[in-house]
Amino acid sequence: MAAQFSTAVVERKYVWAPGLFTLAIRAPEVKPFEPGQFLQLALLLDGEQIKRPYSVASPHGDVIEFFIVMVENGRLTPHLWKLEAGDKVEVYNRAAGGFTLKHCPDAKCLWLLATGTGIAPYIAMLRTEAPWQRYEKIVFVHGVRQGSDLAYQSELSEFRQRYDNRLSYVPVVSREDVPGTLKGRITHCLRNGGIENLCGTNLTPDTACVMMCGNPDMLDETEALLNDRGLKRHKTKEPGHIVVERYW
């Protein structure tokens, strides 16, 4: 079948906080993809097809999940936010993107850094055996503005139990004090050692593979900070430590 859009049906919608939601769609036409890849979702609005890329938050299957935030005045997301079970949405049947474990170097510890909905590709990966077989330890750092944006916590805690505490979950909240979380931005909590203290692991070039996804400011600032520590972008021909996905 040629690459094209097909019609998918919303199977369920889960609202984490106002405007922050998981959309599970039945999309049997989507070809198999690697966890971490993205698909285009589209709606016909005023006669025009508006499409945007979204990381798939689940491994391949007939029903696939997306973790989406509504952007005020955005073209597409205010309409995706209104979708309910049974509604239709267009989905491209071929995934794309190289933000996958195949494109990551081997290491002792896999660091998964994300802001906001940037955790979507990690949820897809952690639901498969691949990262657990390949990395001894996994540190999942989620930077958000409000505590209510800390989605997928119970699933992460199940992973922790299932895999003998090999997962460290580090929530970082910038705009309010939330017990059990670090206060500030990811870069701030890396600089002051808060993240490493909480997970009991040092982020060093000889032990770390770092995936980063989400807000471009976080990506740029974190990469600069990691460069200072001797970590560099991973390339097939020039092995390094850092693999990045930019959302905008």
Ligand X SMILES: Cc1cc2nc3c(=O)[nH]c(=O)nc-3n(C[C@H](O)[C@H](O)[C@H](O)COP(=O)(O)OP(=O)(O)OC[C@H]3O[C@@H](n4cnc5c(N)ncnc54)[C@H](O)[C@@H]3O)c2cc1C
**Binding interface with ligand X (CB under 6 A):** 38, 52-55, 66-69, 71, 74-77, 97, 116-117, 120, 245, 247-248
Name the closest residue to ligand X (Cβ): 74
DSSP class per residue in 49-65: EEEEEEE-SS-SSSEEE
Beta carbon nearer to ligand X, 90 or 245: 245
Q: Sign of the CA dihedral 215, 218, 219, 221? A: positive
The helix (H) or strand (E) run that includes residue 11 is: strand 5-17
Beta carbon nearer to ligand X, 116 or 171: 116
Burial class (CB in 10 A: 0-12, 13-18, 19+), 206: exposed
Least distance from ligand X to the Cβ atom of residue 43, Å: 10
Least distance from ligand X to the Cβ atom of residue 132, Å: 22
- What is the token pair recorded at 232? 């560099």
Least distance from ligand X to the Cβ atom of residue 197, Å: 28
Beta carbon nearer to ligand X, 55 or 222: 55
Classified as helix, coil or strand, 233 is: strand
Least distance from ligand X to the Cβ atom of residue 222, Å: 17
Q: How far apart are CA 93 and CA 111, in angstroms?
A: 30
Beta carbon nearer to ligand X, 75 or 108: 75
CB atoms within 10 A of CB 198: 19
Q: How far apart are CA 190 and CA 78, in angstroms?
A: 34
**Strands across the sheet with 167-173, in order?**
182-183, 167-173, 137-144, 109-115, 208-214, 242-246
Beta carbon nearer to ligand X, 55 or 187: 55
Beta carbon nearer to ligand X, 73 or 154: 73
Least distance from ligand X to the Cβ atom of residue 80, Å: 8
Q: How far apart are CA 165 and CA 159, in angstroms?
A: 8
Least distance from ligand X to the Cβ atom of residue 81, Å: 9
